[in-house]
Amino acid sequence: MKYFKFIIFIFVLSTVISCGGDNDICDNGEGTPRMKITFKRDNKISVVDSIKVSADLGTGIIDLGWKLKVDSVFVPLRVDDSPFTDIYVQTTTEEDPTKVRVSYTTKSIYVSPGCGVKRNYENVNSVLSAPNSLKSVEQGQNFIENEDKTNLFFNF
């Protein structure tokens, strides 16, 4: 049958083309950047034995878990319209967590169909509510566009 090749051709073509789905996968690294916090002791970057950081992302407090022997952590900030994010820090289980309020202005930047929009943060400013083993905070780079530079130093 002379039309047979056309039928096969059409079926093969439709199979190939209709398999292409939506391009809605967001690769890591293109989303909203996290804030980098580096630890200092006696004004020198140093590791802490243990630290637990949690962040209140508006929908609930996200526990980032205990980190052992690290000199820095990455903390996500809120992506909604809130002008600040509260993060909670403790270094031992006996210690009560202390609160650091990170305030900023946000800027929305379109990334791609899959990733949608990401937030960049500007005029980042952090305030420690009550010192515990964390004695003070010190501002690093005051805008967050990527995760390269330290935005905040914790002085222990």
Partner 1 sequence: MKTKLIYSLIFSVFGLLIFSAQEKEEVEKPKWKYEPNFIVGFDVLNAGASFFSDRQIFQGFISSRVKDNLHGIIEAGFDKNVYQNNGYDAKANGPFLKIGAFYMLARDPENDFNGFYGGGKIGGSFYTQEYMAIPIRGFGGNSSSVSMPSSSQSSFWLEGNIGGRVQLFESNFYIDVSMQPRYLMVTSKQDDVVPMIVPGFGRSSNKFNMGFAWNIAYKF
**Contacts with partner 1, residue ranges (CB under 8 A):** 1-3, 6-7, 10, 13-14, 17-18, 20-24, 26, 31-32, 34, 55, 57-59, 62, 76, 78-81, 108, 110, 112-119
Question: Smallest gap, in angstroms, from Cβ of residue 126 to partner 1?
Answer: 18
Closer by beta carbon to partner 1, 40 or else 87: 87
Handedness of CA 107, 84, 125, 142 (dihedral sign): negative
Nearest C-alpha neighbor of 121 from the set 139, 103, 101 = 103
Minimum distance, C-beta of residue 133 to partner 1, in the bound complex (Å): 25
Q: Which residue, 55 or 102, is less far from partner 1 as judged by CB? A: 55
Going by C-alpha positions, the residue among 151, 129, 132, 136 that lies closest to residue 75 is 151
Question: Could you tell me which residues come within 8 angstroms of residue 75 by beta carbon, excluding any fewer than 6 positions away?
Answer: 34, 35, 37, 53, 55, 64, 87
Tokens of 83: 């002008």
- Tell me how far, at minimum, the Cβ of 14 lies from partner 1, in Å: 6
**Residue 63 or 95: which CB sits closer to partner 1?**
63
